[in-house]
Amino acid sequence: MNFLDLFEKQSLIGAHRGDRVHFAENTLSALEGAKNRCNFIEIDTQLSKDGIAIIMHDATLERTTNVTKLKEFAHKKPFRVCDFTLKELEKLDYGTWFKGVPEPLLTLHQALRFIKQNKLFLNLEIKDMHNTFEDTQVIQTLMREIHETDTHQQLLISSFRHQYLKLCKPLPTAALVENKHPHNLVHYLKKLKVDAYHFNKKLVCETKIKHLRERGFFINIYTLNDPNEAKELFSMGVNGIFTDDLDKMASKRYDDAKL
């Protein structure tokens, strides 16, 4: 079984940045919290200054770490992740900002090991780093981690930077879109050779969903925290949704949602 086989099931629930209602997003605790409470977990990855893949959503560290409180980093404003080495990133606290509970940095390597050990499925979103790193460097780094942890079977790779996706093949991939569907969508997705299409709920259109499903693309929509809204999308043929709130959206256990 690999990630694409998951799509044989209906109404998939993806934990957006882990269980981010109860734990600081994109931390090991957030992964632990989402374990067995969803069909798959979604997290974000980007590279440190010295090219190590870490788990973090924002391009800067201000919102989800204590970086502004540490004098030694004051000169690094606006605190871009790509301006910090792994060693520097390890000095920060990734949890206190949320509910007062300190959390360590989560590297991609650690996240993949967790996914492997727990036989879970993971949607890894690659943040757009084209201003700092060559596409090939980004993908080679990620592929090395995936290879070392032997997690190929458990992953779906997605990105708003679609150039990355072709480089990730033969892994399952999904194109992410926020504001506007690309022109000539089916042709566009075919050229990218993606398996799935992920888009913001504000772009939902039933005709488009049916058309894409008939052409064989899997569809996951973000971000939904209302079960009725999710039900409506599933009835249109959507495969999965991303949610922050597993309590509301995922009432059953997902022991069967394992590799």
Q: Which positions touch ligand G3P (CB under 6 A)?
A: 16, 42, 44, 125, 158, 176, 198, 222, 242
CB of 127 to ligand G3P, least distance (A): 8
Query: Residue 48 or 159: which CB sits closer to ligand G3P?
Result: 159
CB of 17 to ligand G3P, least distance (A): 7
The closest residue (CB) to ligand G3P is 222
CB of 159 to ligand G3P, least distance (A): 9
DSSP letters for 124-153? EEEP--TTTS-HHHHHHHHHHHHHHHT-GG
| Integer Cα distance of 236 and 210 in angstroms | 7
CB of 253 to ligand G3P, least distance (A): 23
Beta bridge partners of 126: 45, 159
Query: Could you tell me which of 205, 198, 224, 35 has the C-alpha nearest to residue 124?
Result: 198
Query: Residue 73 or 218: which CB sits closer to ligand G3P?
Result: 218
| Integer Cα distance of 25 and 225 in angstroms | 16
Query: Residue 53 or 88: which CB sits closer to ligand G3P?
Result: 53
CB of 201 to ligand G3P, least distance (A): 10
| Integer Cα distance of 14 and 20 in angstroms | 12
CB of 175 to ligand G3P, least distance (A): 11
| Integer Cα distance of 108 and 93 in angstroms | 17
Query: Residue 15 or 73: which CB sits closer to ligand G3P?
Result: 15
Burial 84-98 (b: 16+ CB within 10 A, else e): bebebbeebbbbebb
Burial class (CB in 10 A: 0-12, 13-18, 19+), 15: buried
Query: Residue 146 or 174: which CB sits closer to ligand G3P?
Result: 174
Query: Residue 41 or 139: which CB sits closer to ligand G3P?
Result: 41
